Amino acid sequence: MTSHAVADGRNEQSGPERARLLVVVAVPVEAEAVLRGLPGEARALPLPGGELHRAEPAPGVEVDVLAGGVGPAAAAAAASAALAAHRYGLVVSAGIGGGFAPHAPVGATVVADAIVAADLGAETPEGFADVTELGFGTVRHTPAPTAVALAAEALGAVTGPVLTVSTVTGSAGRAAALTARHPGAAAEAMEGFGVAEAAARHGVPVFELRTVSNPVGPRDRAAWRIGEALAALERAFAALPVPALIEEAGRG
């Protein structure tokens, strides 16, 4: 990847509509995988607290990639900074994550049909209650179904809820509890809900894409396939129909 810092005016918010996608990942190695999947060179754009890398995979189509940090709070803050500085037609939370077997095995690509804050709530004598049940807000964002279907077909992806957690699952008991509360869950990661909250506040559609590096359950680093998942992430962005996806997400 060749990049160079450039000044980028903050008056884009009042400029014309653009076919522009914001991709928020957690760490630089994920950003590098996404950018490898996009044709052409990327250039660096300054951003408070970090920098974006902008690629133009097709004429008039721009993809900004941001490594925003680990966890929902860092992801929300980073996404909000980018959304305040530039115009976007769609925001994607992306990266590697854990998959719920057998629905999403190691190496699979997952497109979220729901982005769920799985551990945002309270423990009660009757069990876990999420903040929606407690009357304090939402724990779910739903991407446009037509955009989900379009991406899933293009990528050969599994669809299902992607759970956002602040603590990665490391036991069979917790994995079972999550699947009981969220039937059909496909994957677990740490940033999607934070990105979705930022996007919602800026009125921009949101989407989540994960490639599976390990099964959700007992922590076994020997079973992780991070290289394979990063390679799958690169392939996913090489095949992602960006302009059509932005269009479908906007209709939703």
Orientation angle between helical segments 226-239 and 145-155, nearest 10 degrees:
110
CA nearest to 66, candidates 9, 121, 113, 24? 24
pLDDT level of residue 19 (50, 70, 90 thresholds): low
**Average pLDDT rounded to a whole number, residues 143-169:** 96
Query: What is the structure's pLDDT at 220?
Result: 86
* Residue-level length of the chain: 252
- 115 neighbors 138 (Cβ within 8 angstroms): no
Mean pLDDT of 60-69: 94
pTM of the complete model beyond 0.85: yes
The residue among 46, 32, 33, 56 whose CA lies nearest residue 4 is 46
Strands 90-99 and 121-124: unpaired
Question: What integer pLDDT is reported at residue 8 of this predicted model?
Answer: 41
Q: Residue 234: pLDDT above 50?
A: yes
Q: Is the pLDDT of residue 5 over 50?
A: no
Quote the CA–CA distance of 242 and 58 in Å, as a whole number: 9
Give the rounded percent of residues in the chain with a pLDDT score beyond 90: 71
Residue-level pLDDT at 1: 39
**Of 34-43, 56-65, 127-136, where does mean pLDDT reach its minimum?**
127-136
Written as one letter, the residue type at 236 is A
